[in-house]
Amino acid sequence: MARAASFVEGYRHLTIGCHLSISKGYLKMAQAAVSIDANTFQFFTRNPRGGAAKAIDHKDIDAFAAYCAGQGIHRVLAHAPYTLNLASANEQVRSFAFEVLADDLLRMEHTPHQMYNLHPGGNSRQGIAESIEQIAEVLNAVLSPEQTTTVLLETMAGKGGEVGASFCDLAQVIERVELDGHLGVCLDTCHVWDAGYDIVNGLDGALEEFDRSIGLERLQAVHLNDSLNERGSHKDRHAKIGAGRIGFEALAAITNHPALRHLPFYLETPNELPGYADEISRLRARYT
Ligand code: FE
Ligand code: FE
Ligand code: ZN
């Protein structure tokens, strides 16, 4: 799973997949991805609402690694449970988040050099500034020099005091983290649209703003979703590709953009496998 090789390959072939269930193990996920012409995928490390993770099955992981190498799957993206909130007002919720995050990062080393996506967190009772301090504090406690996993902070729609609706929020978290070499960003197209960035008529401008505040070199993955709501709605309701307010053309333009086209793209649209297969084939047909 060499990063350099997949980076070069990404220029010729769109690296795209969708969110898949881990319930049948790693190998089955990779096989499901290949069955819909995906060459990457995302999965929850455990039940999305939290709870215990399954024991690591080394035979499954070995079979998975061999299968991925043969199929040209170089990058996968794990997603932290939704319930993790590194900046919850509730101390117990914060310490639970810390424990799950620490455990997930240990488990991720069984599939080294991959990415782990995290909603930064926040709450409406305290300001964004205080949340940013708390998120950075947990990240400083949990990141280790030896880890090979890159933790991606996801751009958010800005519901209920969430950190990450502004690129500036994420830049402030990153600049407070000592081992910031282990941090990257995942841009969710539905979230940035709902947060107010005009990625339909002003993609270059939005990316310039990203570059000025965070630096485009931090951007390592894209969640490719349409949005049910108007720009700036702060709602976070995903739509199928082409069935929302962003639209197919704007999303296809995102996959083709010179600053983005090498990145892995993940669909988190309301679909089962056949619906994902259809979105992947339409987006591949438009990738030039
Ligand atoms: Fe997410
Ligand atoms: Fe997302
Ligand atoms: Zn979302």
**Distance from residue 155's CA to the centre of ligand 1 (Å):** 8
* Arithmetic mean of pLDDT, 241-262: 98
Using the predicted structure, report yes or no on whether residue 203 has a pLDDT greater than 80: yes
**Distance from residue 17's CA to the centre of ligand 1 (Å):** 15
Please, which residues have CB within 8 angstroms of residue 263's CB and are 6 or more apart in sequence? 10, 15, 219, 220, 221, 222
Contact 156, 201 (CB under 8 A): no
Read off the pLDDT band of 279 (50, 70, 90): very high
Return the ligand number nearest the Cα of 194: 3
- pTM of structure: 0.95
pLDDT in tens, 9-20: 445 789 999 999
Find the helix packing angle between 91-108 and 128-142, rounded to 10°.
40
**Distance from residue 156's CA to the centre of ligand 3 (Å):** 7
Phi then psi for residue 125, to 5 deg, are -80, -25
**Distance from residue 171's CA to the centre of ligand 1 (Å):** 18
Q: How far, in whole angstroms, is CA 58 from its chain's centroid?
A: 25
**Distance from residue 43's CA to the centre of ligand 3 (Å):** 14
Return the ligand number nearest the Cα of 118: 1
| Tokens matching residue 211 | 């570059």
| Tokens matching residue 273 | 């496998």
pLDDT in tens, 36-83: 999 999 999 987 776 788 889 999 999 999 999 999 999 999 999 988
Calculate what percentage of the chain has a pLDDT beyond 70.
96
Return the ligand number nearest the Cα of 81: 1
Contact 199, 210 (CB under 8 A): no
Please choose, from the candidates 223, 157, 158, the residue with its C-alpha nearest in 3D space to the C-alpha of residue 185. Answer: 223
| Tokens matching residue 195 | 């947060």
**Distance from residue 116's CA to the centre of ligand 2 (Å):** 12
